[in-house]
Amino acid sequence: MGFVKLAFEVLRLGHGTPRRGGRFHPVPALLLSDAMRTLLHTPLDPSSRAVRLVLAEKNLTARLVNVAPCSTSEELLHRNPAGAPPVLIDEPPTGGEVAISPAPAISEYLEDAYGASSLMPSTSAGRAETRRLVYWFETKFESEVNAKLLRRKIDDRIEGRYRIDLELWRQGVDRLCWHLDYMSFLLEGRAWLAGERMTLADLHAAAHLSGIDYLGSVPWTDFAAVKEWYQRLKCRPSFRPLLADRVEGVPPPAHYDDLDF
């Protein structure tokens, strides 16, 4: 299984670039002449991680360019007016250049443009369920769990803020357990979240859960079925680059990169 090609050329878009005449001038470094595709991403951002997993599962290489969580780079805004990573810049098989965002659109684009190693079910009902669960994690899990835990601990640290709201943290932990309980319910009758084979739903869910696991906040012992499902994904070659990610000043727990945790 191929890996996402990691280019260690971290560009902090939106930081430290000069302004002339009151206008922001982004670093003109996102050239595709030396790589067919580029992913603007934040390493611990779950949506960015989901796209990295999809790329790796499809054996597609990409040049990774780090952007700050709250970047105001004109380059990023030009590629995605919403101003948030991830953004995939690609030269599709049909020619030209495209910039795709957000993560669910990127995942479906990769599925459509590069059909090998399909990550969608063959039935219309299965595809609908996969899309439902991708949307679930990218919206509901993001707002109820990540926004209260991961964003407060990691994004704030990157941006130089160190205050933790304990009430928000407790709310996030409570909702995390609710989501884990729902995942346990799904896995009672399915081998994977959306059915009998791994799909985009599993990759997006695992990407979001991996960010919380970096904080050491997942109560694995209380959710054995989810732990077994996550172990299967964690052991895949596509997951290994994610386990190597680190945030300065916020080390992960010892089990984070242990495949037999």
Q: Which CATH superfamily is domain 19-113 in?
A: Glutaredoxin (3.40.30.10)
Domain with CATH 1.20.1050.10 in the chain: 124-243
Task: For 69-83, write each residue's pLDDT tens digit.
Answer: 666 677 777 788 877
**DSSP 8-state code for residue 247:** B
* 59 pLDDT tier (thresholds 50, 70, 90): very high
* Residue 58 CB partners (closer than 8 Å, separation 6+): 110, 114, 116, 117, 119
In Å, how far are 3, 107, 118, 251 from 59, measured between CA atoms? 6, 14, 11, 29
The model's pTM: 0.84
**Which of 41-45, 89-93, 142-146, 159-163 has the weakest average pLDDT?**
159-163
Instruction: Round the average pLDDT of the chain to a whole number and report it.
Output: 85
CB 87 within 8 A of CB 76: yes
**Which of 84-88, 109-113, 140-144, 164-168 has the weakest average pLDDT?**
164-168
Q: How many whole angstroms separate alpha carbon 53 and alpha carbon 49?
A: 6
* 166 pLDDT tier (thresholds 50, 70, 90): confident
Higher pLDDT, 101 or 1: 101
Q: What is the per-residue pLDDT for 261?
A: 82
Whether pLDDT at 89 is above 90: yes
Average pLDDT over residues 184-196: 97
Average pLDDT over residues 112-133: 96
Q: What is the DSSP string of 107-170?
A: HHHHHHH--SS--S-SSHHHHHHHHHHHHIIIIIIIIIIITTTHIIIIIHHHTT-----HHHHH
Task: For 18-54, write each residue's pLDDT tens digit.
Answer: 333 333 233 334 444 345 799 999 999 999 999 999 9
CB 226 within 8 A of CB 183: yes
CB 115 within 8 A of CB 149: no
* 209 pLDDT tier (thresholds 50, 70, 90): very high
Q: What is the per-residue pLDDT for 241?
A: 96
**DSSP 8-state code for residue 58:** T
CB 44 within 8 A of CB 154: yes
- At 195, is the secondary structure helix, strand, or coil? strand
CB 234 within 8 A of CB 198: no
Whether pLDDT at 164 is above 90: no
State which fold the 124-243 domain adopts: Glutathione S-transferase Yfyf (Class Pi); Chain A, domain 2 (1.20.1050)
Domain with CATH 3.40.30.10 in the chain: 19-113
* 134 pLDDT tier (thresholds 50, 70, 90): very high
